[in-house]
Amino acid sequence: MLTGTLVSGLGLGSMYGLVALGFHITFAVSGTVNFAQGSAVTLGAVLGYTFGVQLGWPMPLALAAALAGCALLGLAVERLLVRPFVVRGSDAWLLATVAGGIILDNALLFTFGKEPRSLPSGLVSAPVQVLGAGIYPLQLVIPVVGVAAAVAIRAVFRGTELGRVLLAVAQNAEAARLMGIDVGRTVASAFALSAVLAGTAGLLIAPLFSVSAEMGALFGIKAFAVAILGGIGSATGVVLAGLLYGLVEAGVTATLGSGATQIVVFSVIILALALRPNGLLGRAAVNKV
C-alpha cells in the first residue's frame, strides 16, 4: 500500500508541477499568469482523444496535434485576453483569463459531451509488481516525464537562444526591446509553452482516469496553489512543491479517505504560506526607493 501511495503521489505531484511550471514561465517573463491553464489540461486530453480515438490517427500524430492545439490556445490567450489589458496598464487580464477558461470549458462540454471517456494506452493495460504493489507502467513513466520536462525547460533557458531571449525579457523587458528583441512575440511564446505543458499533463493523466470536459478545472486550481507554495518565481521551488503536494494528497487520501483530502491539503498550504509567505524557495520583492 505504501509503495502504491508513493508512486501515485509522485505521479500526481509531477503533473501538478508540470502545470505549475506554466504559471512560473508566464509570470517570470511577463509578470502575468494564465488562469485558463486548467482548461489547457482539458483541451490536451480532449484533442488527444478526438484525434487518436474518434478520427483514428496514429497516436504519436494525435498527441503532437493535441499539443499544437494547446500551443495555439496559449497564443490566443496572450493575444486576446492578456495583451490588450497589459498595454493599458490594467490588471483586468486576471478576470479575462478566468472568463476565457470558463468559455473554453463550456465549449468543450457542448461539443465533447459530459460523459467521461477512456483514452487507451498500452501503459495501463496490465499492472506490474513493484515492491509487492500493482503499479501501471504509466504511473512510473509520469514522474520521469515530469522531471525530464523540468530539466529540459531549465536547459532551454540556460543553453538556447530562445531561453536567453526569455531571460532577457524576464529581467528587463524595456532594455530587451531596445536591444531589438520582439518582446510581444517572446511573451506569446511563453504562453504557448505554458499551455503545452498543461496539455502534456492532460494527456499523461487521461489514460489513468478518464477524458472529460471538466477534468482540468480542479487540476488548474491545485497547480496554481502549487506555484504559489513553491514560490512562483522559482522553477525549482514549483517542481518541489508539486512533488510534496502530490505526496501529501496521496497520503491523506490513503489514510483518511478522499472526502478529507482537499480539507487537509489546502489547510497545510495555508499554514505553509503563513510561515513562508513567499513560498518554499521564493524571494521577497525588493523595491528601490
pLDDT reported for residue 283: 65
Q: Which of 261, 264, 280 is nearest to 24 (CA)?
A: 280
pLDDT reported for residue 6: 86
Cα–Cα distances (Å) from 168 to 173, 203, 279, 285, in that order, read 7, 32, 24, 18
Put residue 58 in one of left, alpha, beta given phi > 0 → left and psi -120 to 50 → alpha: beta
Residue 286 lies in a domain: no
Residue 289 lies in a domain: no
Residue 175 β-bridge partners: none
Q: Could you tell me the residue range of the domain that residue 189 belongs to?
A: 1-275
Residue 17 lies in a domain: yes
Residue 285 lies in a domain: no
Place of cell 524571494: 283
Residue 77 in contact with residue 191, Cβ under 8 Å? yes
Place of cell 494525435: 62
Condensed to tens digits (0 to 9), the pLDDT of residues 142-197 reads: 888 888 888 888 787 777 887 788 878 877 788 888 888 888 888 999 999 999 99
C-alpha cell at 276: 513562508
Residue 242 lies in a domain: yes
DSSP assignment of 182-225: -HHHHHHHHHHHHHHHHHHHHHHHTTTS-B-TTTHHHHHHHHHH
What pairing do the DSSP bridges indicate for beta strands 128-130 and 133-135? antiparallel
Residue 282 lies in a domain: no
Among the ranges given (40-44, 119-123, 155-159), the one the predictor scored with the smallest mean pLDDT:
155-159
Tell me the C-alpha distance between 118 and 138, whole Å: 15
Residue 280 lies in a domain: no
Condensed to tens digits (0 to 9), the pLDDT of residues 174-184 reads: 888 888 888 88
CATH of the domain at 22: 1.10.3470
> Which band of pLDDT confidence, cut at 50, 70 and 90, is reported for residue 289?
very low
Q: How many residues does the chain have?
A: 289
pTM of the model: 0.91
Number of structural domains (the chain) is 1
Tell me the C-alpha distance between 264 and 279, whole Å: 18
Residue 188 in contact with residue 31, Cβ under 8 Å? no
> Which band of pLDDT confidence, cut at 50, 70 and 90, is reported for residue 288?
very low
Q: How many CA atoms lie within 13 A of 40 on its CB side?
A: 36
Residue 54 lies in a domain: yes
Q: Which of 201, 166, 176 is nearest to 24 (CA)?
A: 166
Cα–Cα distances (Å) from 150 to 21, 134, 139, 163, 244, in that order, read 8, 27, 18, 14, 15
pLDDT reported for residue 134: 74
